[in-house]
Structure 1
């Protein structure tokens, strides 16, 4: 097997994945493209990652779409689900996941280090993480099979728990206030939230 390095692309299952981290002969990977569009939850209500419909789908039907050999390489991990750093909305219980979405903290770590902006909120920052963050363009992703970029979900709660944090489609900025869990951007009329699954893979 060729040597896998951080930021490399690799094929696994039916998708291309970007390597975000390597530890102890395992790699944290995320799909290079947004693979589909789904709501975060199937009811408009306060929700956290632990109970949301998108987590159930990723660890159920989506995980089951991998063959047994590939499933044996997917590592079950304990994910910490922290409260929203700016608004204090609860992140909920820690979860054991095979497949997951990145958290706010993880996306600020693995797409260039933007943690200082996260932990030191600017006085004029209300809804957006940081419009001038030098790492914004690293978070832009396109919808698989389509032209152009699109927005995608993180697992972290937004300003309130009927919202979840997301990555804005056109510039990779972090919508730390969040989009509505059922309809996403209300003006869409339906949820068009992008899904970029992540997982830890045995190398």
Structure 2
């Protein structure tokens, strides 16, 4: 199917999605833009992707917005959840998901250019940011309502009360933002909300 190529924008379920990868008859897609703001979880304390509220929401309420025909094309996949490579905070159990967020490793090594050398040669200076001079930062930038905004990854931050994210400039916040109540006065102008953006990802069966 000629319309399915890496980098192509495809409509599905009322959203525009960018194809990040193709394996056999399935394409990994992520929403081209941030589609909403959400907290990573709805309670205080330690949390991982396996037991966070955002995973429950994406695989429940959000997934159920798709029609039965659309749901039949979304593959259930094994999601690998790695520990934070700078701080050692736990990634938690691997999960099976229809809808998920990308990980640090995926946005660094695979789908937005290859910055794996920075990951393989970690520096003591990387306390907060992955790399301000990373040539691939611009590829990770995203907007919501026309405003550049930050968006969640599923990986843990410096502890399990934080999750990693992509800053508005495309740099990766390896120390993470608070998963429950993010303490920041910086808000999205269109919503007055400081919560992180959500860019869902899924594996789509390309056989109609």
Write the distance in 1 (CA, Å) between the matches of 2:36 and 2:25. 29
Deviation for aligned residue 1:165:
0.2
Write the distance in 1 (CA, Å) between the matches of 2:186 and 2:198. 16
**SS of match in other structure, 2:20:** strand
Of stretches 67-76 and 180-189 in structure 1, the one that deviates more from structure 2 is: 180-189
Task: Give the match for residue 204 of structure 2.
Answer: 201
**SS of match in other structure, 2:117:** helix
Write the distance in 2 (CA, Å) between the matches of 1:22 and 1:56. 26
Q: Mark the runs of 5 or more structure 2 residues left unpaired by the alignment.
A: 188-192
1:22–1:185 distance in 2 versus 1, CA, 3 Å: farther
1:139–1:18 distance in 2 versus 1, CA, 3 Å: same
Task: Give the match for residue 174 of structure 2.
Answer: 176
Task: Give the match for residue 125 of structure 1.
Answer: 126
Q: Contact 2:40–2:53 at 8 Å: present in 1 too?
A: yes
Q: Contact 1:38–1:191 at 8 Å: present in 2 too?
A: no
Task: Give the match for residue 104 of structure 2.
Answer: 104
Deviation readout 1:25-65 (Å, 9 max, x if unpaired):
11000000100000000012100000000000000000000
Deviation for aligned residue 1:122:
2.2
Task: Give the match for residue 190 of structure 2.
Answer: none
Write the distance in 1 (CA, Å) between the matches of 2:46 and 2:194. 17
Task: Give the match for residue 162 of structure 1.
Answer: 161
Question: What RMSD in Å do the two structures reach over aligned CA positions?
Answer: 1.3
Q: Mark the runs of 5 or more structure 1 residues left unpaired by the alignment.
A: none
In the alignment of these two chains, the number of paired residues is: 200
**SS of match in other structure, 1:187:** coil
Task: Give the match for residue 22 of structure 2.
Answer: 22
**SS of match in other structure, 1:50:** helix
Instruction: State the TM-score, normalized to the length of structure 1.
Output: 0.95
Kindly report which structure 2 residues correspond to 1:2-81, keeping only aligned pairs within 5 A, or say none. 2-81=2-81
Write the distance in 1 (CA, Å) between the matches of 2:194 and 2:48. 17
Deviation for aligned residue 1:173:
0.3
Write the distance in 2 (CA, Å) between the matches of 1:2 and 1:114. 29
